[in-house]
Every structure is written in C-alpha cells, then in structure tokens.
Structure 1
Amino acid sequence: MIPAIAVRGIEKRFGATRILRGVDLSIEPHERHALIGPNGAGKSTLFNLIAGAKRPSAGRIELYGADITRLAPAAICRRGLARSFQTTSFFAKLSVFDNLRCAAQIANRDRARWWQRFTVTRAADAHAEEVLDAVGLGARRDVIAGTLSYAEQRALDLGLALASGAHTLLLDEPTAGMNRAEAARAVELIRVATAGRTLLMVEHDMDVVFGLADRVSVLVQGQVIATGTPDAIRADPAVQAAYLGHALPGDAR
C-alpha cells in the first residue's frame, strides 16, 4: 500500500545547526498518527517541511507517492493536504459560514471552467453547510468568527481544513490552551469529523495522543526514536527516558 505521507531521509539545517537528522516516517492512508517529543525536537520544523512552508536540506517527501518536496504550500493544498496551525487562522470579521464558504469555494475554483462557476458556487455552499454541522457549529452559523470562544475557534480552524476538501490533514496542537473538558470534546470532534481521512498531528497532551492516535512516532533531537501503537510507545524505555523519566499516562510506575 502506498503511504499517504512518506518522509524519507529528511534533514534540515539552519546554518551549521542540524534540526532534523535523517527523519524517516510513513503514515498509512486513513490512519490517525501522532508526532510527539520534547520541546525543540524538531516537530514544528517537520510539519513546515511537509506542508511546504520550508524546504528540506536533504531528503524527499511524498503525498500518496507523488513527490511534493519542492512544491509551494498552495500546490500541496491542491493535491489534498491541509494544515491547521497552533494559532487559529480565519477571517475574524466574517461569519462562521462565510469563512467555511470561502475555503470551499477556493478549493473548487481551479476545477471549474467559467461556465461552471455558478454550479460550483452552489456546490461549495452546500459543502460548507455540511462542514458546519460536522464541526458542531451549526448553531453558530451567522456569528462573527472573531467573537467565538477559543474552543469554537479551533473547531472552525478544523472546519476550514475540511472545507478545503483535503484527504490528508496536519493538525498542530489541536487542543492547546483548552481545559480538560474542552480537550475531551475536541478529541471526539476530531475523531468524528476526520473519519475516512488521514491525520498527522503534533500534540503535547499525552491523554489526547493516546486517546486518539492509531500510531505514535517520537521525535527526539531531530530523529525518530520510536514508532508504534500507543501501548507500545507508553511502555518504551527510550521514550520514557526522552521525557526525563516522567511516567506517561497509563504507566503503572
């Protein structure tokens, strides 16, 4: 089976400093995969490389077998990969629905010829309505996005990625800044809303990671030191050492 995302021998240097040191990573289609590691491990750098925001110093990145290593973010998005950020990114003065509508229309713009634009616009609006319900914001349809609560803004951010029509999603700390109840609701939302899609996420909350991911990869000092199921990662001595000996959630120590 061709991986949804394949990272092969990726290196990234800033001057003489090596941030990523030959990273290999394979994400299977429809898998929910978490990338964890201590601060400064290179997680955000790797995300930036996959999304096209930066270029690797060496190595290759593939999306369903196609080389995307040197493509711009917009070109990668058109191939079906969308990314959410640690901070929300939307039009604060537009309504929730209009934000989703914009994302859906942009996704379809390049696929339509001029005489098809009206039909495509109607289809984009219908898709935006579906996403609105999928992310639990149906009751907030006409609310100005900038007035949403923080958790609702993160839900909208996820909705923008879904409205783009992406089959592969990169979520960067999707529950950052949330309390336990908000994080639990966000996990359930992500689980339902991303069904049938491939998900790669960076997340520091280990309860979220072990509750959502099918597999987990651990990045330490620019290298992947372990990949496996949540149970296997939780029990891995090298992973526990990377977290300075602190017990991970569910660890009986």
Structure 2
Amino acid sequence: MIPALAVYGVEKRIGATRILRGVDLAIEPGERHALIGPNGAGKSTLFNLIAGGARPNAGRIDLFGAEITRLAPAAITRRGLARSFQTTSVFARLSVFDNLRCAAMLAERDRTRWWQRFSGSNTVDERAEQVLAAVGLDARRHIQAGTLSYAEQRALDLGLALAGGAHTLLLDEPTAGMNRAEAARAIELIRATTAGRTLLMVEHDMDAVFALADRVSVLVQGRIIATGTPAAIRADAAVRAAYLGDSVRA
C-alpha cells in the first residue's frame, strides 16, 4: 500500500545547526499518527517542510506517492493536505458560516468558475452546513469568528480544513491552551470528524496522544528514535528516558 504521507531521509539545517537529521516517516491512509518529542526536537520544522513552508536540505516528501518536496504551500493544499497552526487562522471579521463557505469554495475549484463560486452555490452552502453541524458550531453560525472562545476557534479551524475537502490533516498542538475538559471535547471532535482521513498531529498532552493516535513517533534531537502503538511507546524505556519520563504512568 502506498503511504498517504511519507518522509524519506529529510534533513534541515539552519546555518551550521542541524535541525532534522535524516527523518524517515510513513503514515498509512486513514491512520491517526502523533509526533511527540521535547521542545527543540524539530517537530514544527518537520511540519513546515511537509506543508511547503520551507525546503529541506536533503530528502523527499511524498503525498500518496507523488512528490511534494518543493511545491508551494498553495499547491500542496490543492492536492488535499491542510495544516492547522498553534494559533488559530480563522477570518476574524467574517461569520462562522462564511468562514466555512470560503473553505468550501476551494473544494469546488475544479467544478465551477471563479464567479460562480461567489454566487450562492448550493453545493458550497451544503458542505458548509454539514461541517458547521459536525464541529458543533451551528448555534454560533452568525457570530463573527473573532468573538468565539479559543476552543470554539480551534473547532472552526478544524472545520475549515474539513470544508476545504482535505484528505490529509496536519494538526499542530490542537489542544494547546485548553483546560482538561476542553481538551477532552476537542479530541472527541477530532476523532469524530476525521474518520477516514489521514491525520498527523504534534501534541504535548500525552493523554490526548494516547487517546487518539493509532501510532506514535518520537522525535528527539532531529531523529525519530521510536515508532509504535501508544502502548508500545508508553512501555519503551528509551522513549521514557529521552522524553516521557514521569509524565506517563506505566
């Protein structure tokens, strides 16, 4: 089976500093995969390379078997990969529903001309309505997105990726800044709305990681030191010594 997302021997240097040191990673279609590691391990750098925000010094990145290593972010998005950032990226002055309509218009890019996408397309509205309900924001549809709570904005962020038709999602610390109750709701929302999609997430909340991920990879000092099921990673002595420590109970 061709991996949904594959990274082969990726290296990244900034000046003389090696940030990534030959990273190999393969994620199967429909898999939920978590990338964990200490601060400074290179997780955000790897995300940035996959999404096209920077170029590696060596190596290759494939999306469903097609190389995307040197494509621009917009071109990668058009191929079905969406990234969320640690901070929300909603259109603050637009309503929640119009945010989703904007994203849904992208999904219609190959079926309608640009002027038709702004003329009340039923398909666009239907997609926006479906996502609005899926992310639990139907009651907030007419509210300006910038006035939503932080957790609601993160839900809308996820909705933008879903409405845009992405089949592969990069989620950068999706529960950061949330209390435990909010984080638990966010994980359940991600689980429910990303069924059938491929997911790679960076997350420091180990409860969230172990509750959601099918497999986990551990990045330490620019190298993947282990990949396995949550149970295997939890029990790995080398991983515990390098990163998890006492934060995870055996």
Q: TM class by shorter-chain length?
A: over 0.9
Report 1:206-217 matches (<5 A). 206-217=206-217
Q: Does 1:66 align with 2:56?
A: no
Measured against aligned partners, the alpha-carbon deviations of 1:157-196 in whole angstroms (never above 9, x if no partner) come to: 0001111100000000000000000000000000001011
Runs (4+) of structure 1 exceeding 3 A deviation are 113-120
Equivalent in the alignment of 1:4: 4
Shift of 1:115: 8.8
Shift of 1:119: 8.5
RMSD over aligned CA atoms reads: 1.5
Count of aligned positions: 250
Equivalent in the alignment of 2:245: 246
Asked if structure 2 preserves the Cα contact closer than 8 Å seen for 1:108 and 1:120, the reply is: no
Report the TM-score, using the length of structure 2 for normalisation: 0.96
Report 1:134-145 matches (<5 A). 134-145=134-145
CA distance in 1, matches of 2:186, 2:66: 32
Equivalent in the alignment of 1:17: 17
Report 1:90-109 matches (<5 A). 90-109=90-109
SS at 2:225 equivalent: strand
Report the TM-score, using the length of structure 1 for normalisation: 0.95
2:20 partner letter: L
CA distance in 2, matches of 1:115, 1:147: 30
Equivalent in the alignment of 1:78: 78
Shift of 1:116: 6.2
Q: Does 1:233 align with 2:222?
A: no
Report 1:46-65 matches (<5 A). 46-65=46-65
CA distance in 2, matches of 1:62, 1:10: 11
- Give the unaligned 5+ runs of structure 1: none
2:245 partner letter: H
CA distance in 1, matches of 2:230, 2:84: 23
- Give the unaligned 5+ runs of structure 2: none
Shift of 1:241: 1.0
Shift of 1:118: 7.4
Equivalent in the alignment of 2:127: 127
